[in-house]
Amino acid sequence: MSKKILITGGAGFIGSHVVRLFVNKYPEYQIINLDKLTYAGNLANLKDIEDKPNYRFIRADISDLDEMRRIIRENQVTGIIHLAAESHVDRSIRDPFIFARTNVMGTLALLQAAREYWESLSEGYEGKLFYHISTDEVYGALELTDPQGVESPFTTVASSELHHLAFGREFFLEETRYNPHSPYSASKASSDHFVRAYHDTYGMPTIVTNCSNNYGPYQFPEKLIPLFINNIRHGKPLPVYGKGENVRDWLYVEDHARAIDTIFHNGKVADTYNIGGFNEWKNIDLIKVIIKTVDRLLGRPEGSSESLITYVTDRPGHDMRYAIDSRKLQRELGWEPSLQFEEGIEKTVRWYLDNQDWMDNVTSGDYLKYYDSMYADR
């Protein structure tokens, strides 16, 4: 195998799409999927490639330094794509220590294990890369402003014109100062700093990317889009924080996987790239699109499920707006989103409605019992 790539968190939402892409696109690579299989990790996400000869799964905890040393050395890992993370803001508010343990100490253990192994080789860091996937939330929040009459900075991007400058003229750049507001974003900011410090201190080849909200198949249904699709299907309340006016930039998950592929192979070492969908929506407007789409596909009067909307007390420290400027990635490496949002939402809703067995298995928690018994002696 020409490359041996360790993908952490590969049984999760974004990670499973990255693993699938690499396994199918690069049969000459050995792809090692490392996942702890917490509640958000599900090997059913990868059923279609689990028997491929260039794919291997390992269950392990990234915060176990000795185990990371063993796995990286025994598998002769040449590259790491690091997606493993605790990522739900509400959970981070309830238990920030889990987020510090996984996102900070886990990243540090991976960095140290990779550094020790790569520095032991005769070629050293040549041909090696530690690619760390982060979030736009590390930048803090942007204000909602009235941008009328302002020329859009995104007019050169064909897929960007519909929603940009609906909410403001400011966007997160790669140079934007970090200003995290939740335990989740603080833990990711810390891990980003460790990755960059390992390049500056030890010369380790690293890249960091910061991405906007992802959506698509296999997302754990604690997140807004799959949760609301499932609740609409079952006639359950749709809990909306505050007035639903918070704004997020949305990116279809397969487009994120393509960006990771592009950056892994062509990105500049020690650089940072922002990955966004050029696609901002107020939460309440997004929810109404989801409702209409689900209602239509279920044969119900379109919009009839809006009666399920229930406004709830806002989340503490809830950032008002995130918006990514991805023009550097487009300009330097030629990437841009491939799907308009309406097309992506249609595909996403259809997938969850067509894969209700997957949803039922996840929401019941049965998959966790299976993995715990399967790996009990390992």
Catalytic sites, residue numbers: 136-137, 184
Classify each residue of 8-26 as buried b or exposed e, where b means 16 or more C-beta atoms within 10 Å of its C-beta: bbbbbbbbbbbbbbbbeeb
User: How many CB atoms sit inside 10 A of residue 230's CB?
Assistant: 19
Report helix, strand or coil for 35: strand
**Strands 247-252 and 280-282, sheet pairing:** antiparallel
Q: How deeply is 360 buried, as exposed, middle or buried, from its count of CB atoms within 10 A (0-12, 13-18, 19+)?
A: exposed
Residue matched to tokens 């999927």: 33
The CA distance from 177 to 139, in Å, is 6
Structure tokens at 373: 């018994």
246 Cβ neighbours under 8 A, 6+ residues apart: 282, 283, 318, 319, 320, 321
**Nearest 5 degrees, angle CA 262-CA 169-CA 317?**
85
The CA distance from 249 to 282, in Å, is 9
User: How many CB atoms sit inside 10 A of residue 313's CB?
Assistant: 8
**Strands 272-275 and 309-312, sheet pairing:** unpaired
